[in-house]
Amino acid sequence: MDKHDEYHRKQMRLHWTTLACLLIALQWGVLNAQTTDNMVFNPSFEEHLRCPERIDALGVMTSVEAWWQPTGGSSDYFHICGGRDCGVPRNKLGVQAAHSGDAYCGIYCSQENYREYLQTELKEPMKAGRRYHVSFWVSLADKSPHAVATLGALFTTERISDTSWGLLMHKEIVTLEHNENQVIATPYNAQVANGEERVLDNDKEWVEVSGEMTASGGERFLTLGNFRTFNHSNVRNREQINAILQGAYYYIDDVSVTALDEDKQPAKPQPKQLPEEGQVVTLWNLFFATGKSEVLPQSHNELYRLRRLMEEKPTMKIELRGHTDNQGTSEFNRRLSEARAQAVADYLVAHGIDKARLTTVGFGKTMPIDSNDTAEGRSRNRRVEYRVLTK
């Protein structure tokens, strides 16, 4: 081979190497744009507080950042770092690799008397009249004896919280004759759902459930699951000798909500109102386990907003202040309020905020802002707030 041929071979290798790099860069740019546009925090369930150790009758969704179970149904979390029951790809319910990353969640979706759901809060509320594309990926568990069709995505303006174990219902109190109140319960109508004719029975591959919707405005909570009655879910029986359930069980991964078009009359951006020195701001959307200082995943958005504020104002220093209601001894409440304020500080430090900018204090039950004689008043008194020390 002469020098002329060798030169051309080197040029061709350089050409293909450059092209491959450009394709990788383009693909990364597209993926990064999709991630940026997605309104869902932790869409593939990668971020977690701890590795799941087992499938628990009460659920383990407290392990997953930004996601929680809105009902008494015990939704499950699977991760490559998990225990034998809840690992990836192999777990108690079968073998399935994640659609992306190392994790997914699992929910039970068929019987009328028992259902499971997943819920999260979007990064920002949906805008009235704007269209959105919604998608998530599902795979039927190997050991599931049933399959259904009608998995869907429900968007609501308010957080859904229900202690029941069955089909999630919209409950409304109506006043009848003689001033008698009655609760009227009707199934929710998911804005995006898989069609009743297509049974989701693939236990080998992931299948996308997707669709478009026009927002009414203000929707900020997303709930995933089956919102149709048993008779309208197109339930199919599967002959599974090793079945350990009595219904349809699905793995869920890669949830996406993206805006499709611009507002017809976009609102002018309003200047952000930053707290002043000495101002006290209550973090109303913080949630803790009862009697404990563990921050629940429902708190993700509130913590995220506080972290972003601290990042945007690098000179700001704050005092985190914990409060409780009057249930329990003074010493217990003081320690609990202190621990909850410290839990918020720990979150901020874990996400890059200098601990020198944070101080914590617990006031226990000494500074109520409402009556402790009602459940609503006690709920308002149980709070964490921050006071701006310096801007």
**Using one digit for the tens of pLDDT, what is the confidence trace for 155-165?**
999 999 888 89
- CB of 381 closer than 8 Å to CB of 325: yes
State residue 70's pLDDT score: 93
Residue 194 has pLDDT above 90, yes or no: yes
Higher-scoring residue by pLDDT: 180, 202: 202
Q: How confident is the model at residue 35 (pLDDT cuts 50, 70, 90)?
A: very low
Higher-scoring residue by pLDDT: 390, 262: 390
Higher-scoring residue by pLDDT: 263, 110: 110
State residue 14's pLDDT score: 44
Q: How confident is the model at residue 91 (pLDDT cuts 50, 70, 90)?
A: very high
**Using one digit for the tens of pLDDT, what is the confidence trace for 111-143?**
878 999 999 999 999 999 999 999 999 999 999
- Taking the C-alpha atoms of residue 323 and residue 288, their distance in angstroms, rounded to an integer, is 12
Q: Of 283, 273, 272, give the one whose Cα is nearest residue 348.
A: 283
Give me the mean pLDDT over the 3-9 stretch: 46
Residue 15's alpha-carbon distances to 2, 8, 9, 22, 67, in angstroms, are 20, 10, 10, 11, 46
Q: How confident is the model at residue 332 (pLDDT cuts 50, 70, 90)?
A: very high
State residue 7's pLDDT score: 41
Share of the chain above pLDDT 90, in %: 67
**Using one digit for the tens of pLDDT, what is the confidence trace for 359-388?**
999 999 999 999 999 988 998 999 999 999
Tokens of 44: 């593939």
**Domain 61-259 in CATH: superfamily?**
Galactose-binding domain-like (2.60.120.260)
CA-based R_g, the chain, Å: 25
Q: How confident is the model at residue 247 (pLDDT cuts 50, 70, 90)?
A: confident
What are the structural domain ranges in the chain?
A: 61-259, 280-390
State residue 113's pLDDT score: 84
Residue 20 has pLDDT above 60, yes or no: no
State residue 15's pLDDT score: 46
State residue 349's pLDDT score: 95
Give me the mean pLDDT over the 208-219 stretch: 97
State residue 266's pLDDT score: 47
Residue 13 has pLDDT above 60, yes or no: no
Residue 326 has pLDDT above 50, yes or no: yes
* CB contact set of 203 (below 8 Å; sequence gap of 6+): 94, 96, 139, 140, 141, 142, 144
Q: How confident is the model at residue 9 (pLDDT cuts 50, 70, 90)?
A: low
In CATH, the number for domain 280-390 is: 3.30.1330.60
State residue 342's pLDDT score: 97
- CB of 211 closer than 8 Å to CB of 194: no
Which of 88-102, 159-173, 280-294 has the highest mean predicted lDDT (pLDDT)?
A: 88-102
Tokens of 365: 């039950």
Q: How confident is the model at residue 245 (pLDDT cuts 50, 70, 90)?
A: low
Crossing angle of the two packed helices 300-312 and 330-350, in degrees rounded to 10: 60
**Using one digit for the tens of pLDDT, what is the confidence trace for 249-296?**
999 999 999 999 765 444 455 566 789 999 999 999 898 888 899 888
Residue 57 has pLDDT above 90, yes or no: no
